[in-house]
Chain A
Amino acid sequence: MSENKEKVKAEEVNVEQKKEKKPSVVDKVKSVFSKKAKKETQEGETEVLSEEMQEINSLVSGSTLPTSEKVRRFFKSQSGWLFVLPALVLMCIFTFYPIINAFIGALKQNYQGLTGRFDGWGFENFVRVLKGDTGTGGANFLQCLVNTLVFTLISVPLSTLLALLISVALTRIKPLQKAYQTVLFLPYLTNALAMGAVFATFFTIIGTKNNTETVGLINIVLGWFNIDAIDWMGIGSPTWEIGALSIPWAKYIVVIVYEVWSGLPFKILILFSSLQSVNKQYYDAAKIDGASRSTILWKITTPLISPMISYLVITGIMGGMKQYSAVVGLFGEQMGIDYDMGTMVGYIYQYLNNGRTGYAFAGSLMLFAIIMVITLINNYVSKKRVKF
């Protein structure tokens, strides 16, 4: 054994000697730089380049090549564009052109979609949209914006948190795991109208069954705690009036519950699978380190799957800001009473429908800007927090 050890040591010494003999390329470059630096300090001249330095420079920039060769190389290096050309063409037609057109359209005053006539250029569309002074009644921009923000900023974090807790619970349950997974995924596959019907039985106050008035499941449960029935979705729904805004909080709750519920399956699917991919050794290590279950969840598990969580939050907020169908499904095409439950997309859609395209353009650009800002903030935060 000791012989072996000595052998290894001898080899080590050999290697070290070899290293010392041959100065590597890196050393050469270093020595060149240090020479240059010395010259700068000694003579105060910055432009003195040794021959070696020039050689290195020419290698880096290729300055010794003839011009024709340079041109040829430039075009050759641009050949990558060919590969993305098909996608680029499609994007130009279906993405970039509409965006640019929306900008142009938003700046045309009193634009008539059919005749193509307009009264001049300016920001009047934006001003009128923001003031709510569109002269047609119906959806109010500020109301729609507040609605959308409230729906999104409550339902997305809530459903993500719930999805996280449910998927962590799912990974802990071994028997019937597949069955629970299926049940939890069902809302994802279910028709929106069917879900609407389910929600009606939950929340609707109006209806009769066996000649008795029904109040909806939720109200029945509230009744057990001696809480008066609430008109969740109807005309008499309780509302706070704040200035020009009305906050129909009961309807808000319905929408948020719906969004949380319908958003859960996809989030659970994603989080459950990313939980499966976490190396079990981290949990073993945490156990050895004496971490409690909640410590493991919040200090180990959550940070480890935080890239997925941040993905879900970002896409969730993007989707939430574009919410339309759920509100229409629950409250009809007028989005509640005269758009009191309107969303941004609902607003845009209304003005597209009644021919006031300019307002729709302006609204969609502002929605675009808002989503952009939120996404940038999201990105910034997640880059800071989600990094390892």
Chain B
Amino acid sequence: MKISIQHLTKVFPSREKKGKPVIAVNDLSIEIPSGKLVGLLGPSGCGKSTTLFMLSGLEAPTKGRILFDDQDVTTLAPERRGIGLVFQNYALYPHMTVAQNIMFPLTNMRIPKEEAKAKALDAARLVQIEDLMARKPSELSGGQQQRVAIARALVKMPNVLLLDEPLSNLDARLRLQTREEIKRIQRETGITTVFVTHDQEEAMSICDIMVVMKRGVVQQVGEPQSIYDNPSNLFVANFLGTPPINIFDGRIENGYVYIGDEIVMSTVAEDQLIKVGVRPEGFIYDPEGSLSLNVDHIEVMGRDKSIVSRHEASNKPTVRSIVDSDIVLPEQMGVLKFNLKPNKVFLFNAETEERI
């Protein structure tokens, strides 16, 4: 099912009497094609969960419309939207067994018991928990609980599956495993899926389409790789990638990009003050290079080396660059020189922080 979000806005009244109302989501418009896995990504408080809850119908939008295919569902009650929602902490009913939890949506739809049982078992098989049907949620591990929550959301064959920070309560290893799992389930069922996360790695690894948000405003929409390669502004560039991008104060003068007093590359843009973003993998060690970095120490990680250094113009305390481990660095640390890979360097206007 295709989802179309048009000028969606959510304003929460302030708790204090004279306080300003909080704009959680501001004029958000996205088109989500059918059958895709979409990630809403952003730091906490950016309105991504609010957007999800408005899609689910649990929150009513202040302004704007939500369309599922061509049907306007903006004012439709949650149970009539045909959605499945997985909560951040799963919200499994603690007094029901796994089977009862999964069957709960079906019994509410007055589906005969035998049929409901069969469907519940199908859903359980899909998430591989068919052996746990008789247990109570308290007798399950976090990962198993999460699968039950997904099965409960899937059992009524929703048109749209919504996941609110589905992996945040799992440990690191289980998170890796479960995110593959979510991807697999989404592929097998072909259900349009929207999920919320603050973890850029998680979003990049499984999303078909990624929506980066900040303070209720969409910053960029697109495929993960294209957003990573072409961030539209400083925020997006900064938010994506581990280790994060390095940012320098710089300027453009007569077609050259300066960091400090050094010319690092040429450009066609007009003269202005800029921020220069350089991905850690965008440094090439070269004794004749154009950018000098004051090396602090080197972290060896086997496959590659991470050079931690300092630079006066850097916006962060250290500059981190990653080079291949077989590159021989001089014994003497001190100042090393680097060239920059042009496709790993992004220029942003210093004031607007928009990409030049």
Contacts and interface: CB of A to CB of B under 8 A. Distances in A.
Contacts of B268: none
A12 B83 contact: no
Contact of B242 (A4, A286, A291): A4
A294 to B, nearest CB: 11
B201 interface: yes
B141 interface: no
Given A7-B301, A284-B91, A300-B93, A292 B138 contact: no
B117 interface: no
Given A281-B87, A290-B79, A303 B108 contact: no
A253 B85 CA distance: 49
A299 B107 CA distance: 11
A4 B201 contact: yes
A288 interface: yes
Contact of B58 (A279, A284, A299): A284
Interface string B54-98: 001010000000000000000001110001110101010111100
A286 B58 CA distance: 11
B302 interface: yes
A12 B87 CA distance: 29
A289 B77 CA distance: 11
Contacts of B56: 288
A3 interface: yes
Given A1-B228, A4-B201, A7-B301, A282 B91 contact: yes
A285 B241 CA distance: 34
Contacts of A306: 95
B304 interface: yes
B166 interface: no
Given A288-B78, A304-B94, A7 B58 contact: no
B58 A289 contact: no
Interface string B231-244: 00000000001100
B87 A284 contact: yes
Nearest to B59: A284
Nearest to B110: A290
Contacts of B11: none
A5 interface: yes
A34 B327 CA distance: 53
B85 A3 contact: no
Most buried by B among A6, A284, A290: A290
A128 interface: no
Q: Is the interface of B mostly helix, strand, loop or mixed?
A: mixed
B148 to A, nearest CB: 12
A126 B108 CA distance: 56
A299 B204 CA distance: 40
A299 to B, nearest CB: 8
Given A3-B303, A287-B79, A288-B83, A279 B91 contact: yes
Interface residues of A, number: 29
A272 B9 CA distance: 35
Most buried by B among A1, A10, A284, A288: A288
Given A4-B201, A388-B136, A290 B304 contact: no
Contacts of B96: 303
A4 B104 CA distance: 41
B109 interface: yes
On chain B, which size bracket covers the interface?
Answer: 35 or more
A3 B176 CA distance: 15
A225 to B, nearest CB: 39
A8 interface: yes
A10 B302 contact: yes
Interface in A1-24: 1, 3-8, 10, 12
B17 interface: no
B205 interface: yes
Contact of A7 (B78, B108, B303): B303
A295 interface: yes
A292 B205 CA distance: 39
A173 B138 CA distance: 32
Contact of A288 (B58, B176, B302): B58
Given A1-B228, A4-B201, A7-B301, A285 B85 contact: yes
Nearest to A285: B91
Contact of B105 (A1, A281, A289, A387): A289
Interface string B132-172: 00001110000000000000100010000000000000000
A289 B108 contact: yes
B18 interface: no
A290 B105 contact: yes
A287 B301 contact: no
B84 to A, nearest CB: 7
Interface of A: 1, 3-8, 10, 12, 279, 281-282, 284-292, 295, 299-300, 303-304, 306, 387-388
6 contacts: A1-B201, A285-B85, A289-B79, A289-B156, A291-B104, A295-B108
